[in-house]
Structures are given as C-alpha cells and as structure tokens.
Amino acid sequence: MRWTLKPKPETHKLQHLMEALQVDEIVATLLLQRGIETFEEAKTFFRPSIEHIHDPFLMKDMDIAVARIDKAITNGENILVYGDYDVDGTTSVALVSSYLKTLYPNIATYIPDRYEEGYGVSFQGIDYASDNDISLIITLDCGIKAIDKVTYATEKGIDIIVCDHHRPGNELPKAIAVLDPKRDDCTYPYDELCGCGVGFKLIQALGSKRGQTVTDLFPYLDLVATAIAADIVPLTGENRTLAHFGMKVINSTPRAGIKAIINQLKKDSLTITDVVFVIAPRINAAGRISHGLHAVELLMENDLEIAKQYAASIETFNSERRTLDQEITKEAFQQIEKLGEQERFTTVVYDENWHKGVIGIVASRLIETYYRPTLVFTKSGEKLAASARSVKGFDVYNALEKCKEHLIQFGGHKYAAGLTLKEEDYQAFKDAFEKVVKTTIDKNLLTPEILIDKEITLQEITPKFYRILKQFAPFGPKNMSPIFMSTALKDTGWAKCVGAEEDHLKLTAVQRRSPRINGIGFNLGGKLAKVQGRKTFDAVYSVNENTWNGETTLQLRLRDIK
C-alpha cells in the first residue's frame, strides 16, 4: 500500500480551534480535516440536533408533490410507490408506502425484477399501473433520467412524482413534480441525500401539513440510516443528523423487519459499520437472488413473528448469495491465472453461467486482489452483461465511454457501472478497454493508497482519547474512521497468525516506554516476519475496543505494517 499522510492544517486555524474547544492537537487536526473550523461547526458535528433537519419545502417542486398526493387521497385514487431493487430503493418504498398507509388505504408497491426489467422505471411497471387503475406513481431512488417512461405514463393518463438523488441529464422528465436536490434549479441546502432521504423529506412535508413534527416521524429513521449506510453517500450535514438519530432508533426501537435481522446477531449495540456489513447485504440479497419485493415485505411487516419468517427466507437468499459469490470468485481467479493475465492493466473475465446478481460483488473481490479496473461478464439472454468496478482515482465510466463503439449500452458513475454488448464483440471490447486504461491511468493508482490522518504515539491512546474519537461517529464517506500512524514499534514477542486459515495477524505493540496495546490485522498474516524477533516496524491503524471474557480494552485495528 501507498501510505499518504494528510497535510498538517494551517497553524493559526489549529491554534484557534484548540483554544475554542479546549481540545488537543490531534482532535483539532481531525476536525479541520473534516472541514470543521469553528466552535459552532464543531457543536453541530458533535451534537446533531433535529434543528439541523431542513424544511422539506425548500426542495424544488415539494409543494406541487404534496398537493398532488393530497388530491389523490381526496379523490380516492390508487397510488403506486415504485422503487429500485437495491437497499436504497427498497427502504424508500417501505418508508413512503408505510407512511401513506397511515393516511389512506389505496397504496400499492412495485419493485422491478432485476433480470426481467433491469434498473429504474420500466415500461412493464407503468403497464402494471395502467392495468390496475393506478393514476399516480411515486418513483423513489430512480426516475430522474426516465424521460421516455414518464412520457409513456402520461400518454396512459398516469401522473408521476419523481423522487431521486442521482444527477439529472440535460433534460428533466416531464413529471408532475421532480424532487431531486441535485437539480441545477433546486436551492435545497443539502444535495447529498440518498433516495430514502428524499423519500423522508416527502413524508416530512406531508406530515407537516397534518401537524406532525420531525420527532413524530423518527420511527422511520431506521430505514433512512440503513439506506445512508448502504448507498455510500457522504456522512456530512443532514445525512449525519439523519444517520445519528436513525442509529438511535435501530439500537432502541427498530421496526419488526430490522429487529428480525438484528435478532440473528449476538450484539447489544450496532454501529453504522454493522449496518453496512450485516443489515444491508441481507436486504440486498432479496433482489440479487429472488425479488426485491421480499425486502419490502420484511421492512413493512409490523408483526415480529411474521417478520422473523421473512428474515429467515432472506437469510437463505443471503447464504445462497454468499455461496455463489465465493464460487464465482474462485472460478474468476482460476480463469485469470489460466490466461496468465495477472500483469494486465485491467481485469476482465467472463463465464456464461455466472449469476448476474453477484457479478458486481465478484468484481469488488477481484479488485481486492489485483487492484485493477475490473469487469465481470455473464450471459443475459442473447447478450453479455457486465458489472464494472474501479480503483480509487480512476473514472471507469469515462473509460467505457471511449469503448462505446463495442457496447449496446452502459451506465453508472466513476467507480461502478453496468454494460451490455453482443457476444461477438466481447474480445474486441476487452482489448479496447485494456488499451484505454493502459494509456490513460496514472500507474500509481494501481497500488492501493491508505490516507493517514495523523502520526501519533501509543502513549496518546487513552480511554479519554477514545471517548472523543467515538463522538466522531457515525463514520462514512467524507467522515471516515480516523487512521493513525505510529513509528518505531516493537512486538513484545507474542505475535502470531490467527484465524481458521491463519491469515490474520495478532500482536502486542510497545513504543519506547509506552504501555502495551494489542493489535489485530485482518488479512495481514503474511506480515508476521516483519514483526518477529523484536524487529522495529511502523504501523497504520484505527483504534477500536475489543471485549474478551467480559473485559473491554482498546486495541489497534491494523491496516498495514512496514
């Protein structure tokens, strides 16, 4: 890994913040790196308040959307709540439809089939609405680029309210209302909401017309926090506030569906990281293996015993997803080695039998090993479909655009994309993609980088220091868990490899006369020789707690050793 130490903040800003907050240089540095320069900004950061949740009517078209929904309720119209099959989409549909059902019974839900309909608003979904006498569709986490679909719905006499958070194209769909904080003409104060966040603003607006406060809507924030965590949106501003209160709901009074998932864990208190790695994959598994509506049913169920049955089904989907992921990853490794492609600038693999629902996960797995822009292809009807993943700093969407002559279609963003092509064009595309990446990528980007917030000594890692660090949570993009570096460390002599495959490194570090502190490095077992025999080493790590036999101690969560 490339170790990159973040620049030290300007001295006068550092001194000002240390004095204003009465904190040490480490804490002031971490805050300044996160754009927090004043006492008031720090107060907002450390003490999220419902006052930091903005007025939903600041969002362009919100008044039109609320008026149209109220009209539908007054006139007894049928309303369809439509969202994508991923976590953000299914939580959005569960949130908006469950809220609307507290006001009015004629609410239906729709999640497109991943394999039959694909991503976003589909013609099949609009036909379903038409066939079922539905005159208003609310799209969530999708629709901002569904120009032709919205026109098709209008021709069938169906109004659409678009709620999305993706960047619009050159043209907006001609919907009744378009709620998207990324619209150029929208002056909403925060534009990094996830799809479920936009859905929450909609129910907040509907609720305010009925005398409900944000506090009355807190029970819906477990869904919002789950979507924020899963959709990898920045954990800043309003997202941080929504996630903060949402995590409180998850850890105190979660809805039956989320409680049913949590019940399978042996943890008293969940962090947002647990949501990313435990709750989100299970919700996602429904759409990957079967159908996203299973996730919506789970998240809307009020009876815990029924929710447990749904959760058990989804756990089966997740186990199947995990098995497929492992099998396909193994086959992909074998294919790369067989073809001798380890030295290429890209990783592109294909097998017609690979499951379309997990190829994105497999692409991410391959990047962990080869750290190259990666595409995993499978057969999809008469065509080939692929998931693309990229390395930090390289825009895979732009690279695909330079190869578009070989593609039927593609879409996505800088680090993740999807594409389809004809089978006979596969090799030509593979060669073109390799050539584009080889000639445009900065070679440094092919070595993973770890950004280090600050160099500290082990002496500075105290219970008080950790209590302050915990207040930086919830962690995520733009507010990652702080990473530290310490130099001239030594192991006390008990370093060893642990785990079923002995691929993790466990050690006890000291630095000159500092107290001992345990460290665990997942997948760092190969570094054992670097610390044995009282050798001096440098380490990059985050700090966390470890509970063993009822005793909780601080430990280093090692990221790399040199």
Q: Is the pLDDT of residue 157 over 90?
A: yes
Give residue 264's pLDDT. Answer: 75
Cα(228)–Cα(234) distance, integer angstroms: 8
Residue with tokens 């959760």, as numbered in its chain: 311
CA diameter of the chain: 79
Run of H or E residues at 538: strand 537-548
Look at residue 333 and tell me if it is in a domain: no
How far are the Cα atoms of 194, 294, 357 from residue 288, in angstroms, in the given order?
A: 20, 11, 4
Q: Verify that 252 and 276 share a domain, yes or no.
A: yes
> Which domain-ending residue is among 446, 462, 497?
446
Give me the pLDDT at residue 550, please: 82
Query: pLDDT band at 287, cuts 50/70/90?
Result: confident
Per-residue pLDDT, 119: 79
- Of 446, 472, 489, the domain-final residue: 446
What lies within 8 Å, CB to CB, of 540 at 6+ separation is 1, 3, 450, 452, 483, 484, 485, 558, 559, 560, 561
Tell me what the pLDDT averaged over the chain comes to.
94
Asked if residue 441 and residue 454 are part of one domain, the reply reads no
List pLDDT tens digits, range 465-474: 999 999 999 9
pLDDT at 513: 83
pLDDT score of 81: 98
Q: Is residue 326 part of a domain?
A: no
Q: Does 472 lie in the same domain as 416?
A: no
Beta bridge partners of 224: none
What are the tens digits of pLDDT across the range 289-306? 888 899 999 999 999 999
The SS3 of residue 552 is strand
Domain count, the chain: 3
Angle between helices 221-230 and 195-208 (to 10 degrees): 160
Return the minimum-mean-pLDDT range out of 161-175, 235-249, 278-292: 278-292
Residue % of the chain over a pLDDT of 90: 84
Instruction: State which residues form the domain around 193.
Output: 56-313
Residue 16 lies in a domain: no
Q: Please tell me the predicted confidence (pLDDT) of residue 73.
A: 97
Helices within 231-303 (DSSP H only): 237-250, 256-262, 272-274, 280-289, 293-300
Residue 363 reports pLDDT greater than 80: yes
Note whether 288 and 353 are same-domain residues.
Answer: no
Amino acid, single-letter form, for residue 2 = R
pLDDT at 237: 93
Where residue 414 sits, what CATH number does that domain have?
A: 3.10.310.30
Residue at which a domain ends, from 416, 446, 476: 446
Q: Are 67 and 124 in contact (CB under 8 A)?
A: no
In this prediction, residues 31-39 reach a mean pLDDT of: 95
**Domain annotation covers residue 178:** yes
Contact 231, 238 (CB under 8 A): no
Q: Please check the confidence at residue 267 and state whether its pLDDT lies above 80.
A: no
- 335 belongs to a structural domain: no
pLDDT for 200: 98
- 329 lies in some domain: no
pLDDT at 118: 78
Residue 288 has pLDDT above 90, yes or no: no
- My answer on whether 145 and 273 are in the same domain is yes
Report yes or no on 21 lying in a domain: no
pLDDT of residue 343: 84
Residues 405 and 427 reside in one and the same domain: yes
Which residues does residue 349 pair with via DSSP β-bridges, in sequence order? 376
Q: Which two tokens stand for residue 360?
A: 């994105």
Question: Is residue 429 over pLDDT 90?
Answer: yes
Q: Is pLDDT above 80 for 281? A: yes
Q: Indicate if 228 and 113 belong to the same structural domain.
A: yes
Which pLDDT does position 371 carry in this prediction? 95
Which candidate, 1, 18, 20, places its Cα nearest to that of 10? 18
- Identify the pLDDT of residue 265: 74
The mean pLDDT value for 476-490 works out to 95
pLDDT tens-digit map of 307-362: 999 999 999 999 999 999 999 999 999 999 988 877 899 999 999 999 998 999 99
Are 296 and 167 found together in one domain? yes
CB 153, CB 140: distance < 8 Å: no
Specify the CATH number for the domain of residue 254. 3.90.1640.30
pLDDT band at 161 (very low <50, low <70, confident <90, very high): very high
Choice between 514 and 79, residue whose per-residue pLDDT is larger: 79
| Structure tokens belonging to residue 429 | 């595309």
Q: Are residues 484 and 516 in the same domain?
A: yes
Task: Report if residue 12 sits inside a domain.
Answer: no
In order, the DSSP letters of 362-415 are: HHHHHHHHH-S-EEEEEEETTEEEEEEE--TT--HHHHHHTTGGG-SEEEE-SS
Q: Is the pLDDT of residue 412 over 80?
A: no
Q: 459 and 419 in one domain?
A: no
pLDDT of residue 16: 96
Question: On the CB side of 69, how many CA atoms lie within 13 Å of its CA?
Answer: 28
pLDDT for position 417: 87
Residue 324: C-alpha distances to residues 275, 321, 328, 342, 555 (Å) = 22, 5, 6, 23, 34
Give the pLDDT band of residue 282 (cuts 50, 70, 90).
very high
Q: Which amino acid, one-letter code, is at 119?
A: Y
Q: State the SS3 of 481-508.
A: CCCEEEEEEEECCCCEEECCCCCEEEEE
- Asked if the model's pLDDT at residue 209 lies above 80, the reply is yes
pLDDT of res. 474: 92
- In this prediction, residues 31-38 reach a mean pLDDT of 95
> Do 264 and 188 share a structural domain?
yes
* pLDDT (mean) for 221-242: 94
pTM attached to this predicted model: 0.90
Among 148, 170, 171, 174, which residue's Cα sits nearest to residue 160?
174
pLDDT, tens only, 108-142: 999 998 888 877 899 999 999 999 999 999 999 99
Q: Are residues 481 and 537 in the same domain?
A: yes
